[in-house]
Structure 1
Amino acid sequence: MNKTALRALLRERRALIAPESHGFSRPTGQGRRARGLSQHQVDQLLHRAIGTYHRLESGSYPNPPTTLLRDVARLFGLNEQEWVSLNRFALLQDPPGPLHQSSGKEVPGVWQEAVDGISHMAYVTDASWDMLAYNEPLAAMFPDGNVPANTMRWMVLDTHGRESLMDWHTAWAPMVLPQLRAALASRPDDEVLRQIEKEVLADPETADLYNVGVSYPHPDGDERPLLHPQLGPGWASMCTAQPLTAPGARLMILVFRPGQRRSHARAPMLRVR
């Protein structure tokens, strides 16, 4: 626990909330009055035992439950980056999921301009794999430039997707499906993800692979076989990043090299020398 950082974050945000906005009257009379809600008022609003919030803010609450942190974060109006910071300060770990289910569904509009400036195939999807932005090199992958509305559904369920993703049964599906399972673990109420899972379980091919339940890390740095409609078969190296204001959203850059066999050496890791 980082007590100093935790105390500073919570005090600052608590001070911004006027007691009157929650039906409390501000004390009158002489003496110095702190700004914002009192710690006792926070306990009342969160329906917690008196002293619970004081323990959290003072850093004397070891391993506070995530439910308490989430309730405090929502009461204080924290954004997603502050939510991550709260968990790191209080628990020394990232949160188990976003603060709000609506998070990760949008990115700043300048991302389209940024994607257009990338020479490789590139796109941005939201936390449900719905397409938000893509460039012309990516559009060239699809007939008449009809980019799929949801890349997860295309990768695991679309016939064209299974043809383009070479060695689909071994090089793609076993790596992609665990990402769907992991996303649902942190976003169990996401209707788009739940519908895709329903379709996956209704398909015998994908159901068997999905039910294996293996874990697979992020695809960043992976190389997989890909059939390009213009350049033929080759290998796609994946570079993946996440817009910081949209947890679960992802920027994907595909570096494509034509060739039936992987004839190039994998680039070494980049590190400071």
Structure 2
Amino acid sequence: MNKTALRALLKERRELIAPEAHGLSRPTGRGRRARGLSQQQVDELTNRAVDTYNRLETGRYPNPPADYLRQVARLFGLNEQEWVSLCRYAGIGDPPGPLHPSSGLEVPGVWQEAVDGITHMAYVTDASWNLLAHNRHFAEMYPGGVPPANMMRWMLLDTSARDTILVDWREGWAPLVLPQLHAALAARRDDATLRQIEREVRADPDLGPLWEAGGAHIHPDGDERPIHHALRGAGHVSICAAQPLTAPGARLLIMIFRPGPRKSHARAPMLRART
């Protein structure tokens, strides 16, 4: 627990909230008036016993329940980055899930400009793997220059992906992509898009057995995989993966294309700060 950071975050955000916005009034009479909600009013709005919030803000509440932290975070209007910080400062580690069900389904619009500035193939998907942004280099990988609407469905179920673009799909792609669907569903059990893809995967004669078998490979960051580029022909891509901080489950993928077969070579060493 980081009591100093916890108190600073909660106090600052609590004092920004007007009690009147929640049908409450500010204390009257003599004495210093509290800015924003009082600690007692937070207890009232979260339906908790008196002094519960004071214990949290002052760091006297060890291992507070995640559902209580979520109540406070939503009341205070925290964003996803602040939600992560709140859980870490309170001593429970990373949060068990996003703060809001809609989180991960949108990213700031400047991401399109950022992706356009990348010289390699690059795209951004939301937590449901819907394509949100891409650059022209990525579109050129597809016949006709039109990328799919949902990358997970395309990689697993589209015939053009299986037969043309994703070389060695059965061994080199499907077993590595399916665990990512497992992981996405574990984080977003009620996601309608992901659930529909799961149903289609289960019904597919090639994917069904692989789905039941599971798999440990979760993240593509650093992977190298064979593809057939619509304009540049056969080659392979090195994949770099990252996540926009305000959109849990969304991802940025950068694919570095190299023509020809993958040659036997050692991968670039891990990057570490010099000591």
TM > 0.5 between the two?
yes
Q: Given that residues 172 and 226 in structure 2 are in contact (C-alpha distance below 8 angstroms), is that contact kept between their aligned partners in structure 1?
A: yes
Task: Give 2:234's aligned residue.
Answer: 233
Q: Distance in 1 between matches of 2:272 and 2:193?
A: 38
Q: 1:204 is paired with a residue of what secondary structure? A: coil
Q: Given that residues 19 and 36 in structure 1 are in contact (C-alpha distance below 8 angstroms), is that contact kept between their aligned partners in structure 2?
A: yes
| Post-superposition offset of 1:92 | 5.1
Deviates more, 1:72-81 or 1:261-270: 261-270
Task: Give 1:71's aligned residue.
Answer: 71
Structure 1 counterpart of 2:155, which letter? M
Q: Distance in 2 between matches of 1:214 and 1:60?
A: 42
| Post-superposition offset of 1:22 | 1.4
Q: Distance in 2 between matches of 1:227 and 1:46?
A: 55
Q: 1:72 is paired with a residue of what secondary structure? A: helix
Q: Deviations over 1:17-61 (max 9, x none)?
A: 112221222221111121122222212211222222222112111
Q: Distance in 2 between matches of 1:27 and 1:272?
A: 53
| Post-superposition offset of 1:220 | 0.8
Task: Give 2:126's aligned residue.
Answer: 126
Unaligned 5+ runs, structure 2:
none
Q: Distance in 1 between matches of 2:241 and 2:214?
A: 23
Structure 1 counterpart of 2:63, which letter? N
Identity of aligned residues (%): 70
Q: 1:200 is paired with a residue of what secondary structure? A: helix
| Post-superposition offset of 1:232 | 2.7
Task: Give 2:250's aligned residue.
Answer: 249
Structure 1 counterpart of 2:56, which letter? L
Task: Give 1:200's aligned residue.
Answer: 201
| Post-superposition offset of 1:217 | 3.2
Deviates more, 1:189-198 or 1:151-160: 189-198
Q: 1:97 is paired with a residue of what secondary structure? A: coil
Q: Distance in 2 between matches of 1:43 and 1:69?
A: 12
Task: Give 1:223's aligned residue.
Answer: 224
Structure 2 counterpart of 1:33, which letter? R
Q: Given that residues 220 and 239 in structure 1 are in contact (C-alpha distance below 8 angstroms), is that contact kept between their aligned partners in structure 2?
A: yes
Over 6 Å off, 4+ runs = none
Q: Distance in 2 between matches of 1:199 and 1:49?
A: 48
TM-score relative to the length of structure 1:
0.94
Structure 2 counterpart of 1:29, which letter? G
Task: Give 2:154's aligned residue.
Answer: 154
Q: Deviations over 1:160-212 (max 9, x none)?
A: 11122222222211221111121122222222112211211221322221222
| Post-superposition offset of 1:239 | 0.9
| Post-superposition offset of 1:263 | 4.2
| Post-superposition offset of 1:118 | 1.8
Structure 2 counterpart of 1:74, which letter? R
Alignment of 1:44-55 (within 5 A): 44-55=44-55
Q: 1:233 is paired with a residue of what secondary structure? A: strand
Q: Distance in 1 between matches of 2:140 and 2:108?
A: 25
| Post-superposition offset of 1:229 | 2.6
Q: Given that residues 240 and 252 in structure 1 are in contact (C-alpha distance below 8 angstroms), is that contact kept between their aligned partners in structure 2?
A: yes
Q: Deviations over 1:109-151 (max 9, x none)?
A: 2222222222211111111111111112211111111210000
What is the count of residue pairs matched by the alignment? 273
Q: Given that residues 127 and 248 in structure 1 are in contact (C-alpha distance below 8 angstroms), is that contact kept between their aligned partners in structure 2?
A: yes
Structure 2 counterpart of 1:230, which letter? L
Q: 1:91 is paired with a residue of what secondary structure? A: coil
Q: Given that residues 234 and 257 in structure 1 are in contact (C-alpha distance below 8 angstroms), is that contact kept between their aligned partners in structure 2?
A: yes
Deviates more, 1:6-15 or 1:52-61: 52-61
Q: 2:206 is paired with a residue of what secondary structure? A: helix
| Post-superposition offset of 1:264 | 4.3
Task: Give 1:211's aligned residue.
Answer: 212
| Post-superposition offset of 1:82 | 0.7
Alignment of 1:1-273 (within 5 A): 1-91=1-91, 93-163=93-163, 164-273=165-274
Structure 1 counterpart of 2:86, which letter? L
Cα root mean square deviation, aligned: 1.6
TM-score relative to the length of structure 2:
0.93
Q: Given that residues 64 and 92 in structure 2 are in contact (C-alpha distance below 8 angstroms), is that contact kept between their aligned partners in structure 1?
A: no
